[in-house]
Amino acid sequence: MAKKKVPLDLAKHLAEQLAKLSAKAPFLLRITEWQDAPIPVLVVKERQYRDHDASAKGPDGQRRRARPVLIERGNLAGEPLHRCLPMLRRVVEGVTDPAGVPLELSRYLTNEGLRSRGNLPLDEEAGAKLALIFRLQDRIKDLDRVELIAHRVRQFTREEAAYWLSRTTSFGPIANRWALSGLRTMLGGHADDKGVQEMLERLRLAA
């Protein structure tokens, strides 16, 4: 018989444990609200380190450390969010603390958990996968294609997710746009393609 999960005080867990880890995590998943957007909104941010002046030195004569900057990589809300929730939970369920203890982030991607407001720390794999799903679903009206893309991105390895995210963020506006367009077709087919439903049904059965 499967064990029932012990009730978790999400607000306390978020404030006492996850907030500390979020200060240094390579990616964050923010549960928030935006004006004129369905509640809630999920936002993925990537932590990067930038130094405006590579030659700048501090008062002690040492080179200044690069400062951390959080860069938004995508957002998700409304029907696409609820359609993708099962895949999002699967993506984050492997995230652990430095000691290897699961953070149970999937509990925040439920009807109850989505009432929380705050930042969830993500590792590189989960962060890159969520960022890709959020970026790729943008401008797609067909929810079957959105779900199909989420299923297929979830199956990426860490290296594949990091590579494809970099292709959509790091090569300038034109190349990034082309990469997103190509990936949408590669992972989600074309609008009105009958193969979308067939592939989606296979992935749902295998999930």
Domain ranges for the chain? 10-48+66-206
The model's pLDDT over 143-202, given as tens digits with 9 standing for 90+, comes to 999 999 999 999 999 999 999 999 999 999 999 999 999 999 999 999 889 999 999 999
pLDDT of residue 66: 72
Q: Would you state the pLDDT for residue 3? A: 57
Q: What is the pTM of this model?
A: 0.88
Amino acid at position 146, single letter: V
Share of the chain above pLDDT 90, in %: 81
DSSP per residue, the chain: -PPPPPP--HHHHIIIIIHHHHTT-SEEEEEE--TTS-S-EEEEEEEEEE-S-TT-B-TTSSBPPPEEEEEEEEEEEHHHHHHHHHHHHHHHTT-B-TTS-B--GGGGSSTTGGG--EEEEE-HHHHHHHHHHHHHHTT---HHHHHHHHHHHHTS-HHHHHHHHHHHHSS-HHHHHHHHHHHHHHHH--TT-THHHHHHHHHHHH-
Higher pLDDT, 9 or 106: 106
Question: With bands split at pLDDT 50, 70 and 90, how would you rate the model's confidence at 2?
Answer: low
pLDDT by residue (tens digit) across 170-184?
A: 999 999 999 999 999
